[in-house]
């Protein structure tokens, strides 16, 4: 058994597609549109075989935690880039492009070398070796 894909809703479909393609060397499939439901999506494929479905539709509400405290549910998606230098380079590139770096890069207590960046929707993206 394997996870086939992970999906996330967004109000910024094109910006999110560009983010994952640009920074994670992913490939975006063709845009799917269901005009009856006002639904659009892209499947984003990564070289490892993992896929992310970005979905957009009407009436999406934003979930905000005003205090910045963790909430129940998925907390982040983690991408491995192969080396500490790769983590450093990608985090710095994203920082220069205006994305918010939440943490790191750093060595964690459980032995990872990682940094955390927010994507255009504010989702936590962990970048590790």
Identify the structural domains of the chain with CATH numbers, from first to last.
Answer: 1-58 (3.10.180.10), 75-129 (3.10.180.10)
User: Using one digit for the tens of pLDDT, what is the confidence trace for 100-125?
Assistant: 999 999 999 888 899 999 999 988 99
What gap in Å lies between CA 127 and CA 86, rounded to an integer?
Answer: 9
| Higher-pLDDT residue of 61, 48 | 48
Tokens of 90: 């990608």
User: Using one digit for the tens of pLDDT, what is the confidence trace for 65-79?
Assistant: 666 666 666 778 999
What gap in Å lies between CA 69 and CA 100, rounded to an integer?
Answer: 17
Q: Which residue has the tokens 């005003």?
A: 66
Report pTM. 0.84
Tokens of 89: 């380079």
With a cut of 90, say whether residue 60 has pLDDT above it: no
């Amino acid at each position: 058994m394997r996870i086939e894909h992970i999906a996330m809703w967004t109000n910024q479909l094109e910006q999110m597609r560009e983010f994952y393609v640009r920074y994670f060397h992913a490939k975006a499939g063709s845009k799917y549109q269901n005009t009856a439901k006002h639904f659009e999506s892209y499947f984003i494929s990564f070289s490892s075989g993992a896929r992310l479905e970005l979905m957009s539709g009407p009436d999406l509400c934003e979930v905000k935690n005003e205090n910045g405290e963790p909430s129940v549910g998925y907390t982040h998606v983690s991408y491995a880039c192969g080396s500490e230098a790769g983590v450093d380079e990608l985090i710095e590139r994203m920082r220069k492009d205006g994305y918010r770096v939440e943490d790191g890069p750093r060595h964690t207590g459980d032995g990872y070398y990682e940094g955390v960046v927010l994507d255009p929707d504010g989702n936590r993206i962990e970048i590790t070796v």
